[in-house]
Amino acid sequence: MQCDLDTTAKGCTCTYLSCPLRGKCCACVAKHRRVNEVPGCFFTTQGEALWDRSFAAFCRDRGQS
């Protein structure tokens, strides 16, 4: 898979502006997957603002048990 950095950087919703992976979706997802987390862009705006990237937080944010 090839990432289009021009497209992904413009649409990145992550609020961690100093992250070196911001807008680099493939690398971001791979990094979060390695540490058993979910990237911020998968969360709602309210859920992303909590900065808890755990799977449990993601399920709570999306209304799943």
Q: How far apart, in whole angstroms, are the C-alpha atoms of residue 49 and residue 1?
A: 29
Of 26, 1, 3, 7, residue with least CA distance to 39: 26
Where does residue 10 rank: exposed (0-12), middle (13-18), buried (19+ CB within 10 A)?
Answer: exposed
Question: Would you say residue 5 has pLDDT above 80?
Answer: no
Q: How far apart, in whole angstroms, are the C-alpha atoms of residue 25 and residue 3?
A: 7
pLDDT at residue 12 in the model: 83
Question: Would you say residue 2 has pLDDT above 80?
Answer: no
Mean pLDDT of 35-56: 93
Give 13's pLDDT tier (boundaries 50, 70, 90): confident
pLDDT at residue 7 in the model: 65
Mean pLDDT of 26-40: 93
What residues does each domain of the chain span?
Answer: 5-61
CB atoms within 10 A of CB 40: 24
